[in-house]
Structure 1
Amino acid sequence: MEFDMDIKVLLVDDHALVRGGIRAVLDTKPGIKVVGEASDGRSCLKKALELKPDLVLMDLSMPNGRDGLSTTSELLQSMPEVKVIILTMHNDEQYLFRALKAGASGYILKSAPITELATAIQQVHQGMVYLQPDATKKVIQAYLHGNSEDFKDRFETLTEREKEIFTLVAKGYTNKEIAELLIISVKTVENHKGNIMDKLQLSNRRELTEFAYKRGLLDFD
């Protein structure tokens, strides 16, 4: 299918080979013009202001302390007319929900066929939202389970004290250090941790830290 006009696309990915591969294929698609590339969030914002793309293909994981989600949010604050499609290897509902909350209009896996990517670009450019089939299913399931309002997740079931302890645990504090900081007993910390793990359906510290990172609750800068 041909386009009525060229869609100007900015590629954002920290791997040059990935950008080169995507660009080589998109350059063969009528109506799509790759106008530039960026390797991180900072250069993405700069290139977007210079090149005025219609659409940005945005990777999630990027260096220098600014990931694809924070870059998307910042980009859309200054250039709300630009459309963003998250292109990622992460087939995870929390990344998906956070991408939508950041303002992305599309979410597609890097393993998807290039024809699907071209379709996504066309539909998002026309003002629609494009989610790869598995992602669409997850959004529908979230809606059916009553989580459609701001994609409320399990974290919101924690009390304020539990959220406080959760953050400290995720940052690597020991039970004794948490007890001293909050002026409570180690036993109380352990009880809170047990409640936190049960509510979040987690089994160990690694899963807790990953949960915190996915929801943007940790700053690793």
Structure 2
Amino acid sequence: MGNSEQKHPLIAIWNTYPGVRRDRKILDKPPIERIIGEMFAIGEFYYYALNLTNSTLSHHHENILKLHGLSAYPENLKEVIELTHPDDIGFVIKAEQVLVNKITEIGLESQLYIKGSYCFRMKTAEGNYELFHHQSIITMEDETGIPIQSINIHTNIHHITKENPYTVLVSGIGPRNDFHQVKLDCFSKPENFSEHLTKREMEILSFIAKGYSGPEIAQALILSEHTIRTHRKNILRKTNSRNSKELVKKAFEKGLI
């Protein structure tokens, strides 16, 4: 059995999050269906529940075995971090610090409605390092509001792009519409076109990335299909994209999703 006290480089970062407690037991299954509904996966993906108090993992999606060529489900986050490209560890550490700082800034009362995402390379079953898109949402807090569990989802996007934007995206879900894009310039300085997209266009871009059709987006946002078509046309023009496939590729490369 794995050791629940295995150390990994993110522990020091999480300890800066206000009031995180240690050694809390988590027995209930997290609301996987609701959480995945707030995320998107354009490609093969997996998820797992992370106990934030001791870094143990549970409720793994079976794809984690296939994608990484594992013979058993990892029991501690350290085992997942060991699959990360060594050159990307520094970025992951800084990205997690950005998430902690931003959620603290937004307010801990909203932490269940904030999603963090960024990209990094992970070792696959073939022995190669490929680009994965990481998304995380805090899913459980204790009676005092301290976070004790999150759901992480990893999607292999190597078939879409191999370019890491080295950008952390902090966005609101459910009742919140936050959008914070933090580019870590010490790693890369790719061109950014997000300032040319309006808040509504960014919202529609997110739906496009999830694979929603025009009518479905219109229904979700309570807008006419004509309005959605107009927004989509403007988004394609502003991003110099010929179609949705190219748009999604560029959105990943610019850290917009």
Please, what TM-score do these two structures have when normalized by structure 1? 0.39
Instruction: Give the structure with the higher percent strand.
Output: 2
Greater fraction of residues in helix: 1
TM-score w.r.t. the length of structure 2 is 0.34
Higher relative contact order (CA 8 A, sep 6+): 2
